[in-house]
């Protein structure tokens, strides 16, 4: 079992604040890094899939970066909105089929 | 609507029962997954099927038995479960192994 760490565990921000969280993963035999958003009472929803060192992806106000050499990814949210409140999960993929999820960062955006 | 459905949504079963969880995807994907989420633990991959063949079995006890009769359907057969198997069981599918996954709503299982 590989350890995928996410920090912080939870985060409370005001509407309009920008924020970021971290996903750390073992870099040996790494294949891809996935980010998902999981809102309460809904299913996890894919945000990004990144494979290459230095990859940067963006979707609206949310963006992510990947460093495969040191084994970390950052997720950024610019100008947080209450609808961004969710748990953000990262999952590291090894050898095509071995997914390891982190425990998630729970974000609460106050209006 | 994610295109991945799961039934039942809630299930309470005794330790001697046999039940099955069903997952169906309407996305034309080739890979399907079973995950377990226990309280305060990360999502844990249980099984991966690619083109109806099991390609990953993550050291799951034999009381959990998956079945993939075709690329749209995935079952998880349960028998003689333990109370610690109580959890949320999520199904997901992806275009191929390793691609972004689309999750179902989950089955909340309680073993009494």
Q: How far apart are CA A79 and CA A63, in angstroms?
A: 12
pLDDT score of A45: 96
Question: Is there a contact between A3 and A28 (Cβ–Cβ < 8 Å)?
Answer: no
- Assign residue A30 a region (left: φ > 0; alpha: ψ between -120 and 50; beta: otherwise): beta
pLDDT score of B7: 97
- Taking only the tens place, the pLDDT of each residue in A6-21 is 999 999 999 999 999 9
Question: Is there a contact between A103 and B42 (Cβ–Cβ < 8 Å)?
Answer: yes
- CA A39, chain centre distance (Å): 14
Which of the 8 DSSP states describes residue A103? -
How distant is the Cα of A58 from the closest Cα of chain B, in angstroms? 15
B60 contact residues in A (CB cutoff 8 A) = none
pLDDT score of B2: 56
Q: From the list B2, B56, B90, which residue is nearest A98 (CB)?
A: B56
CA distance to A10, A41, A81, A82, B1, per residue, from A110 (Å): 13, 19, 8, 6, 27
Mean pLDDT along residues B79-95: 96
Q: Which of A10, A40, A44, A90 to mutate to probe the B interface, most B CBs <10 Å?
A: A44
Q: How far apart are CA A67 and CA B22, in angstroms?
A: 38
* pLDDT for residue A98 is more than 60: yes
pLDDT score of B51: 84
* pLDDT for residue B38 is more than 60: yes
Which of the 8 DSSP states describes residue A29? T
Residues 66-95 of B with CB under 8 A from A: 90, 92
Length of chain B: 112
Task: Map tokens 């604040």 to a residue.
Answer: A17
B42 to chain A: closest CA residue? A103
- Assign residue A68 a region (left: φ > 0; alpha: ψ between -120 and 50; beta: otherwise): alpha
Q: Quick one: B40 exposed, middle or buried, by C-beta within 10 A (0-12, 13-18, 19+)? A: exposed
Residues in chain A whose Cβ is within 8 Å of chain B: 4, 31-32, 34, 36, 42-46, 49, 89, 91, 93, 96-104
Mean pLDDT along residues B11-20: 93
Give the pair of three-digit tokens for residue B76: 């998880």
pLDDT score of B98: 86
* pLDDT for residue A106 is more than 90: yes
A106 vs B52 pLDDT, higher one: A106
Collapsing DSSP to helix, strand or coil, B84 comes out as helix
Rg (CA), chain B: 13
pLDDT score of A96: 67
Give the pair of three-digit tokens for residue B7: 């039934």
For chain B, the average pLDDT equals: 93
Q: How far apart are CA A110 and CA B11, in angstroms?
A: 35
For chain A, the average pLDDT equals: 95
């Amino acid at each position: 079992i590989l350890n995928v760490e996410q920090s912080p565990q939870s985060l409370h921000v005001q509407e309009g604040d920008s924020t970021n969280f971290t996903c750390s993963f073992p870099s040996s035999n790494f294949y891809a890094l996935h980010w998902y958003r999981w809102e309460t009472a809904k299913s996890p929803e894919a945000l990004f899939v990144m494979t290459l060192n230095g990859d940067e992806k963006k979707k609206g106000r949310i963006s992510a970066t990947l460093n495969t050499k040191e084994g970390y990814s950052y997720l950024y949210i610019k100008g947080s909105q209450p609808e961004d409140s969710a748990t953000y999960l990262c999952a590291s993929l090894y050898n095509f089929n071995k997914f390891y999820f982190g425990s998630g960062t729970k974000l609460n955006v106050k209006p | 609507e994610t295109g991945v459905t799961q039934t039942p949504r809630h299930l309470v079963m005794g330790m001697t029962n046999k039940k099955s969880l069903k997952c169906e995807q309407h996305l034309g994907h080739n890979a399907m997954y079973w995950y377990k989420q226990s309280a305060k633990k990360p999502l844990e991959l249980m099984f991966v099927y690619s083109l109806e063949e099991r390609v990953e079995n993550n050291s799951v006890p034999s009381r959990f038995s998956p079945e993939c009769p075709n690329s749209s359907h995935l079952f998880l057969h349960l028998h003689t479960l333990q109370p610690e198997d109580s959890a949320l069981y999520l199904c997901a599918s992806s275009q191929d192994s390793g691609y972004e996954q689309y999750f179902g709503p989950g089955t909340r299982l309680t073993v009494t």
